[in-house]
Structure 1
Amino acid sequence: MTSSERPPLPGSDRYAARGVRATGVPDPAAPVDITVVLRRGQPLPALGAAPDDVATAVQALESEGLEVLAVDVPSRRIQARGDVAMLERVFGTSLSQVQSPDPVTGRPVPHRQRTGELVLPPSLAGVVIAVLGLDDRPQARVRFRPAAGPTTSFTPLDLGRVYRFPAGTDGSGQMLAILELGGGYRQADLDAYWAQIGLADPPTVTAVGVDGGANAPEGDPNGADGEVLLDIEVAGGLAPGADLVVYFAPNTDRGFLDALSDAVHARPTPTVVSISWGQSEDEWTGQARTAMDEALADAAALGVTVCVAAGDDGSRDNATDAGAHVDFPAASPHALACGGTTLQADATSGTVHSEVVWFHGVGQGGTGGGVSDVFAVPSWQAAAGVPGDADTGRPGRGVPDVAGDADPSTGYQVRVDGTDVVYGGTSAVAPLWSALVCRLAEALGRSPGFLPPVLYGGVTAGRPAPGFRDITSGSNGAYTARPGWDACTGLGVPDGEALLARLRG
């Protein structure tokens, strides 16, 4: 059967990478690993693939000559391997070898590229929802920004006082997973940092490799190492009693999905997952976005909150069309999207002098936020007063849900590659909120579960939400802060003690 006779895979259409330059043709015999994602076997909250679908998919892949490496029924993933020529035939595509700019460093990155739509073996039509790994271009950008010249900076412990994290808690008994798509950390940096901020009993940090990823520090504080250390030091500084597990995967759509799925389905189940990487939702293929959202839905069904940075480029989210865009996976209705503020506060007492939306102008840094073009308004957000999209007026999932300090000029004191630096970005807000979730879980004696429906419970448009300090001043470009939920800082910044009281009922 020719590829033209095979059924197309919905959402698989792909365009050429930005700034791409052809460098050659892959070796037809070179092996390539892929992740095949199956449809959900039963409606949520059930997990896993149907046994018949698994058997059908394994048989179809093996009959085409692919080697099935692993089957994970709960996350509905099959890991398979084939050579370039075989995969081109099976999925009706052509792979080329190219270079395109790394979204973190801007340096040229060699990778495979495909364009156009994929097809499937006929028996897999409707059974398979994604085939990832054929094209291994960089997928996501970090969400941190080095400070150019900070006027104020805070340690994580300072911000625990500002946001009134529950007293007498440190996250003990909780597992906090962190996803990283590059870079790494050195234990010497962590040891020096914990001592510097006065942590007598620092957290345990364990690295887990996914799809060949590994803890591999690059020695560049402004590269992916900066993201890794910021995430670990904020999360660990605020929840030192928690066990931190850092999943390292390649910066590809396949790597991102596999890291998320491995983290969510780990045993024991994590209390929370922190993600500080993302990309405009328009820069994902439909199949990758769907697979990621399904993995996030698994997390929600398991009672795991996934805290995701909302972006650092204002309402445009670094898009080139001057329109309003939101970041993904923050835009998923199964994530807790974390926006950013500019904070002026007394670090010692925690007294807040002012806190406004973080935004310094187009291209100068500012919190992401807006209305999704892809995801509908979730039921739990329906009464919050989410406006229509700034460009089209169409309704959609509102981003972010919550906020915290993110402005590099009022940023976080961290240590990266032997250097003490100050960083900002919504990258810092995701681990901050993840640490808070761990401390709330410890105080409650149970996991708070998937938090967004709880946080939005009883919320009405234009009215402050209990457990939050409302941010009502500032703009991120297309959207303006206002009382109650807004597309700049969501429900606001946390008042940890008040949130705990609310969760206790």
Structure 2
Amino acid sequence: MVTKHPLPGSERHVEKGTKVIGQCDPAERIEVFVMLRRQQQAQFDALMSRIAADDPSVKPLSREALAKDYGAAPEDIAKVRAFAGAHGLAVVREDPSARTVVLGGTIAQFESAFEVKLERYQHHVAGPFRGRTGTISVPDDLHGIVEAVLGLDNRPQARPYFRIRPPFVPARARQVSYTPPQLASLYQFPQGDGAGQCVGIIELGGGYNASDLKTYFASLGVSEPTVTAVGVDQAGNQPSGDPNGPDGEVTLDIEIVGAIVPRAAIAVYFTQNSDAGFIDAVSRAVHDTANKPSVISISWGAPESVWTGQSMQALNSVLQSAAALGVTICVASGDSGSSDGSGGGDQVDFPASSPYVLACGGTHLTTSGSSITSEVVWNDGDLGGASGGGVSTAFPVPAWQQGLSATSTGGGSQPLSGRGVPDVAGDASPLTGYEVLVDGAQTVVGGTSAVAPLWAALIARINAAKGQPAGFVNAKLYKAPGVCNDITQGSNGSFAAAPGWDACTGLGSPNGEKVAAAL
């Protein structure tokens, strides 16, 4: 008799505002991806500790070395194959380096294999999706081997963090806008065009029009970068024609990166908006041996409470692999202040809260000529958005944040009880936003979504000048006081800006030359 074990962290509940609307078609075919444990986990953890401590003797692993030493064991993959065979499931794809096996089959086959019931749900905001409640079960011989089973449900997981400037703003609000090269200059980015680098961009929907990019880069007088769309899990570059939808995010990310590092290659990984899609796209980017991005920009996320334990763990594990490979990952910290739009108390956004990424918060910028005259926390009030930031309840305080405190709006400060978010910041208010061209329309956009590609472009310039990747940058930045413009005014709800690190803007906005010197 086969004993079944609940998979830790796979528990799903019926969310508020969600109801069951019917059964799934048992003959419908779906794909599910299974993530396996890492070989030599203890050795890998020791390597991660040395990276977090900024040990200068640690060199980035090659993708081949990571696969060989810390990928999935061949015998573990064989066990998943045998399990698939026993349940009539097909093995669609195996990637030992990414520790994933993708299985294909009918809903009835997957229900039986993992002892779940899949139903059709409707959510008042997210719309219809396939979902489940309770836990996923795995048999004895996969117990302890399988870390996550993703894709049984396909509910929308994340949201993009860009905000188009509203057409009507209060008369007193002074509106200005900047091109990405102007911001690079204001933030004193070192000279460079990113030649020889590849920047990866993760997108959960939407697309870009080549004609928009051509027109935009020509209007700035910069050469048009090479942009490659990489389809993940049957997704691809599919512009909807709606600049307020995901197209706005996709185009914003490409235009900011391309305008600042026009000679860097840009690889855009398109996937479905589900936890399985999100994790698979990041994994494909990190392990991509064709494009080999040295920097990855992610402008999507969701409050920590929205993620299951297994999906958060699975994505964090991919982000760890990126750090080991020397790939820098820049992530938007969210646009809804200290609550992260969760509707209940303070929360931080994931994947920004992963200790293996550079979390990017937002500021409101005031300039005169070619210099910054003031910079405060981005907070445009209830309707306008604010820099995401706070303290993680999922991840402990990393080595490089030991001894830091979060200052609260009411005065007083508390030592960090978990990973503090964000690490750094940059211009994010739509009132001082970025000039972009989306679906044929000139528009001004803000949001922490713009800050992640801004920092990614800075890192790409630094990598190109240095001829090697900066890799995991957090420890170095926290050790180098003064590399960022310290933001000391404003709040994002529960947290206030303060001298040094704070839970609104992190260490501050970039002084590109000083960041380059520190890295």
So what's the TM-score if we normalise by structure 1? Answer: 0.93
Give the match for residue 13 of structure 1: 11
Q: Deviations over 1:433-466 (max 9, x none)?
A: 00000001111121111111111125xxxxxx23
Does residue 487 of the first structure (1) align with residue 503 of the second (2)?
yes
- Partner amino acid, structure 2, of 1:151: Q
Contact (CA 8 Å) 2:409, 2:493: kept in 1 or not? no
Deviation, 1:82, is: 1.8
- Partner amino acid, structure 2, of 1:372: S
User: How many Å separate the matches in 1 of 2:323 and 2:407?
Assistant: 25
- Partner amino acid, structure 2, of 1:403: A
Matches within 5 A, 1:112-191: 112-148=130-166, 149=169, 151-167=175-191, 169-191=192-214
Residues matched between the structures, number: 485
Gaps of 5+ in 1: 459-464
Contact (CA 8 Å) 1:25, 1:95: kept in 2 or not? yes
User: How many Å separate the matches in 2 of 1:160 and 1:392?
Assistant: 34
User: How many Å separate the matches in 2 of 1:403 and 1:394?
Assistant: 19
User: How many Å separate the matches in 1 of 2:409 and 2:238?
Assistant: 40
Question: CA distance change for structure 1 residues 394 and 490 in 2, over 3 Å: closer, same or farther?
Answer: closer
Does residue 397 of the first structure (1) align with residue 419 of the second (2)?
yes
User: How many Å separate the matches in 1 of 2:143 and 2:221?
Assistant: 57
User: How many Å separate the matches in 1 of 2:408 and 2:102?
Assistant: 40
Deviation, 1:21, is: 4.0
Deviation, 1:230, is: 0.6
Deviation, 1:19, is: 2.8
User: How many Å separate the matches in 1 of 2:70 and 2:157?
Assistant: 26
User: How many Å separate the matches in 2 of 1:7 and 1:277?
Assistant: 33
Give the match for residue 102 of structure 2: 79
Gaps of 5+ in 2: 48-68
Give the alignment partner of residue 297 of structure 1, picking from 310, 317, 320.
320
- Per the alignment, in what secondary structure is the counterpart of residue 430 of structure 2? coil
Contact (CA 8 Å) 2:337, 2:386: kept in 1 or not? yes
User: How many Å separate the matches in 2 of 1:21 and 1:411?
Assistant: 39
Matches within 5 A, 1:37-436: 37-43=35-41, 44=44, 45=47, 46-101=69-124, 108=127, 110-148=128-166, 149=169, 151-167=175-191, 169-199=192-222, 201-267=223-289, 268-321=291-344, 323-346=345-368, 349-385=369-405, 395-436=417-458
- Partner amino acid, structure 2, of 1:79: V
Deviation, 1:363, is: 4.9
User: How many Å separate the matches in 2 of 1:419 and 1:329?
Assistant: 31
User: How many Å separate the matches in 2 of 1:234 and 1:395?
Assistant: 35
User: How many Å separate the matches in 1 of 2:125 and 2:465?
Assistant: 42
Q: Deviations over 1:463-501 (max 9, x none)?
A: xx2311111111011111111100000011111111222
Give the match for residue 61 of structure 2: none
Deviation, 1:385, is: 3.7
Give the match for residue 461 of structure 1: none
Question: CA distance change for structure 1 residues 389 and 151 in 2, over 3 Å: closer, same or farther?
Answer: closer
Q: Deviations over 1:400-444 (max 9, x none)?
A: 001000011111111100100111000000000000000011111
Does residue 441 of the first structure (1) align with residue 463 of the second (2)?
yes
Contact (CA 8 Å) 2:12, 2:135: kept in 1 or not? yes
Q: Deviations over 1:184-235 (max 9, x none)?
A: 0000011111111221x22111101000111000010100100001111111
User: How many Å separate the matches in 1 of 2:185 and 2:82?
Assistant: 57
Q: Deviations over 1:105-157 (max 9, x none)?
A: xxx3x321111111112211111010000000100011001112471111101
Deviation, 1:102, is: 5.2
- Per the alignment, in what secondary structure is the counterpart of residue 409 of structure 1? helix
- Partner amino acid, structure 1, of 2:242: D
Contact (CA 8 Å) 2:403, 2:416: kept in 1 or not? no
So what's the TM-score if we normalise by structure 2? Answer: 0.90
Contact (CA 8 Å) 1:387, 1:395: kept in 2 or not? no
User: How many Å separate the matches in 2 of 1:332 and 1:177?
Assistant: 18
User: How many Å separate the matches in 2 of 1:99 and 1:54?
Assistant: 35
Identical pairs, percent: 50
Contact (CA 8 Å) 1:440, 1:500: kept in 2 or not? yes
Give the aligned CA root-mean-square deviation in angstroms.
1.9
Deviation, 1:54, is: 1.8
User: How many Å separate the matches in 2 of 1:477 and 1:37?
Assistant: 37
